[in-house]
């Protein structure tokens, strides 16, 4: 090894790979590169169609997501109109009816704190819901 | 009357501009011009049997991303940096490394002395093996400088580092090669 390794390396380094390069077919390499690049070039209308298809997929996907979100948020309790015979009952009579339903937890306990604040039609709706 | 210089021997920048306008022959000319140096650079890093394919892949990648090329680096050095990445990916795919036995290595004998040629062949083989033990950045800087004769500014621009850092990498590469070979 030389005392001046830098100079020795710099003299040798240009010879690295020289033999391998002698076997390189430069024209075939150039032709191959051009051929691959040419294969990448698509007609403008094909690019346009691909973009259009991508936009449609995005729009449809967004539509499905929005639709599923709206359906999930829709109220699951149906509002049922009360029978006509209940419409003439007083609040106290309605409370007795609620108690007579013999639920595990008295309905009056759940609703009583605010029961007096409800209107007749609201109470009728509540009853109809529990009966259903 | 002599032809204009651009038509007779266009610069790399002119060929690149033509390729950007869709001129395929400009791309082919750039390959012809730089493929030998790129091939030597890759072969020095161990590419052998796949050299043709690897050089082609390197130029294909370079032309695909030509929009990112800035003239801070020379085109050839920039392509070599791309080649190093291509070689790394290639090796990852192949899961094997092509290292020929020393007997298969050929050395250009400029001295016509069998003994000197044998010594040079041996040293060159050892140098190539030692290069494979260097960290990637040191190896690339060493080859771009010592094999390709690139300036540190050019190397720094191609490898996205500073000229000072490139000099340090080169210094460490030489020091490490010397230690390995001793």
Q: What is the mean pLDDT of residues B149-176?
A: 95
Length of chain B: 182
Q: What is the pLDDT of residues B105-127, one digit of tens each?
A: 444 444 456 777 777 778 888 88
pLDDT at B42: 95
Q: What is the pLDDT of residues A9-54, one digit of tens each?
A: 888 889 898 888 888 999 999 999 999 999 887 655 666 778 888 8
d(CA A113, CA A11): 98
The residue of chain B with its CA nearest to that of A31 is B28
The pTM for the full model equals 0.63
Whether B107 sits inside 8 A of A15 (CB atoms) is yes
Whether A30 sits inside 8 A of B107 (CB atoms) is no
Whether B47 sits inside 8 A of A20 (CB atoms) is yes
CA distance A30 to chain B (A): 5
Interface residue B24 vs chain A (CB under 8 A): yes
CA angle A12/B86/A37 to nearest 5° reads 120
Would you say B18 and B26 are in contact if contact means Cβ atoms under 8 Å apart?
yes
ipTM of this model? Answer: 0.78
Whether A32 sits inside 8 A of B48 (CB atoms) is no
Interface residue A40 vs chain B (CB under 8 A): yes
Q: What is the pLDDT of residues B65-101, one digit of tens each?
A: 998 998 889 999 999 999 999 999 988 887 655 444 4
């Amino acid at each position: 090894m030389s005392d001046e390794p830098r100079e020795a390396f710099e003299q040798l380094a240009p010879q690295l790979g020289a033999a391998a390069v002698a076997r390189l077919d430069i024209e075939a390499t150039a032709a191959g590169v051009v051929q691959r690049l040419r294969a990448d070039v698509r007609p403008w209308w094909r690019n346009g169609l691909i973009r259009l298809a991508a936009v449609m997929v995005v729009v449809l996907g967004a539509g499905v997501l929005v639709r599923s979100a709206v359906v999930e948020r829709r109220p699951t309790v149906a509002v049922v109109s009360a029978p006509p015979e209940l419409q003439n009952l007083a609040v106290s009579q309605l409370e007795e009816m609620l108690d007579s339903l013999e639920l595990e937890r008295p309905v009056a306990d759940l609703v009583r704190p605010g029961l007096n604040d409800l209107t007749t039609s609201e109470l009728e709706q509540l009853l109809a819901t529990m009966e259903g | 009357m002599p032809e204009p210089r651009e038509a007779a021997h266009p610069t790399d920048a002119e060929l690149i501009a033509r390729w950007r306008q869709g001129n395929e022959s400009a791309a082919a000319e750039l390959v012809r011009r730089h493929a030998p140096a790129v091939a030597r650079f890759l072969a020095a890093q161990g590419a052998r049997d796949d050299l043709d394919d690897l050089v082609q892949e390197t130029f294909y990648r370079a032309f695909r991303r030509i929009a990112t090329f800035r003239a801070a680096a020379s085109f050839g050095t920039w392509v070599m940096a791309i080649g190093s990445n291509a070689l790394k990916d290639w090796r990852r795919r192949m899961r094997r490394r092509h290292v020929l036995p020393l007997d298969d290595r050929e050395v250009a004998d400029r001295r016509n002395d069998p003994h000197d040629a044998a010594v040079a062949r041996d040293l060159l083989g050892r140098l190539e093996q030692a290069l494979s033990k260097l960290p990637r950045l040191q190896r690339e800087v060493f080859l771009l400088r010592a094999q390709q004769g690139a300036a540190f500014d050019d190397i720094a621009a191609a490898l996205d580092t500073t000229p000072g850092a490139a000099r340090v990498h080169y210094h460490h590469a030489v020091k490490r090669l010397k230690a390995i070979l001793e």
